[in-house]
Chain A
Amino acid sequence: MTPALRARRILLLHGGLALLLLLCQFVLPDYHHTNFVSIMVLAVYALGYNLLVGYTGLLSLGHAMFFAAGLYGAGMGVHYFAWNPVVAFIAGAAAGLFLAVLVGLVALRTSGVAFMIVTMMFAQAAFLTTLYFNDVTHGDEGLTLTQAARSFALFGTVIDLTNPAIRYNLAWLLLAGALAVMLLVVLSPAGRVLIAIRENEERTRMLGYDVRRYKLAALGVSGLLSGAAGAAYVLFFGYVGSSFAAIPYSIYPLLWVLLGGVGTVAGPVIGTLLMFYLIEIARDYSSSYMIVVGAILLVLVLFFPKGIIGSWRARGQGWIP
């Protein structure tokens, strides 16, 4: 396949997916309209997670801390300092990036199982921090943001983030941007180096690459996208609590990515959509829905390791990034 044809197909697949999500807002009932906002924001989180696990080969079990950094970075700024939501969003995304680089400087001294454990421990420490500083974070109870605090003026127009249409389109814009960032990274020479690291770290080093620096950069971008997702989440839904920093929010992105396809750009979006509704349905039947989540994780790992887009790619569609 020629590079031009591959580029056209990539644009068609990802542009089509984004367009479909944009058009869904006109047919979805209210309940699902709100759900789709959540799904698109969480898909950004999944995309960030996938850059690390799918393209760099680093399995993190502590990504909730970066998502929560975005939530608290933006949420507390609005709640305590009455920040403009745009400033709060930037601060939240920056908090995710900053924390990821900080954690990476220590965690990237390890690899494999040790990296999983170290990231999980850091996330657990972050979770306990949100509980320990209860006076500021309000722990499990969390902080709520008022409607007034979630509005801002842009070129003379008031943007109200509680308005469903505005919220939907901003969430879509964030997702479309994240998809574009992912495609740019994955298809760039640096993206090829990340894949090379995933395939064989030592060999990549023997070609003259400072592997640790690339891994740190991947973790940084992953943290930035996770933080941006967290910041958007708190601004769109007006709530931040400790539960977002707990272990389930480190496991969810793994599920989304596994279902959609590890190491694919479109996979996490589709995985988030399907898994969101699977969990919703399980929650309707039992409060022990995490058992269902665990069972799904087992089935995916054992019988469906490539996920939806990954399996499609394996069937002669090698052009899918």
Chain B
Amino acid sequence: MLKVDRINCFYGHVQVLRDFSLDLAPGEVLCLLGRNGAGKTTALKAIMGLVRARSGGITLDGIDLVGMAAHEVPKQGIGYTPQGRRLFSDLTVDENLQVGLMTRAKGAETRERVLGLFPLLRERLHQRAGTLSGGEQQMLATARALCLEPKVMLLDEPTEGLMPIMISKILDIVATLKEAGVATILVEQRVESALHVADRVAFVENGRTAEVVSPDHLRADPSLLHHYVGVGVRK
């Protein structure tokens, strides 16, 4: 479905991704783990066309995304929730969703489906997004990306700074998307939480995909986490 094939990306003269590769099947959840600065966020930005790949290929269902204008990439079916949520804080919850819906044909139908996933947002429809709590903002950011009816969701640290109850809600949403056949790339610092929903874990080191393992393999061999991330995981 989504295939990233040996891409190389740079910030100025500094190379950030080196022959970075990954592939993703429909409904699959792939968790990207790695130390700060390893290239996880850049990999997501490269898929979205926000950072240009100087070489290599990115395809979604055979459609080449490299060289495509950044605003065309979401229309191919990729939703992106960046780190820090980045809502339109002056717009209400409903207006945020409307902005997300405008590029889709079946607006009302999609809106209802998205609000069905996030009932809390329905109660806050006329509230300004900037006044929502951190967890609600994350829900709205995810809901807005879902308005594009994506085949693939890219979530960059969606649980950052959230209370435990909100973290579990966000991860439940990832599980629900998976059931609906939406594939997800999840960049996450909370390893244990991510392992509950992930099908595979890819370790990113120095801009490369160093190793791809299953969550069970990782639980059996926590030394990988120590090596690539510097943390442990409970078995």
Contacts and interface: CB of A to CB of B under 8 A. Distances in A.
B71 interface: yes
B88 A203 contact: yes
Interface stretch (B24-32, B98-106, B166-174): B98-106
Contacts of A195: 88, 90-91
A195 B80 CA distance: 20
Contacts of A196: 88, 91, 99
Interface string B46-71: 00101000000000000000000111
| Residue among B88, B91, B102 facing the most chain A CB atoms (10 A cut-off) | B88
User: Chain A binding site: helix, strand, loop or mixed by DSSP?
Assistant: helix
Interface in A143-197: 189, 192-193, 195-196
B95 A192 contact: yes
Interface string A198-217: 11101111111111000000
A290 to B, nearest CB: 33
Contacts of B72: 208
Interface residues of A, number: 21
Interface residues of B, number: 29
Interface string B145-156: 101100000000
A210 B48 CA distance: 14
Interface in B124-171: 126, 128, 144-145, 147-148
A318 interface: yes
Contact of B71 (A1, A200, A210): A210
Contacts of B89: 199
B34 interface: no
6 contacts: A189-B98, A196-B99, A199-B89, A200-B88, A203-B87, A206-B74
Interface of A: 1, 189, 192-193, 195-196, 198-200, 202-211, 263, 318
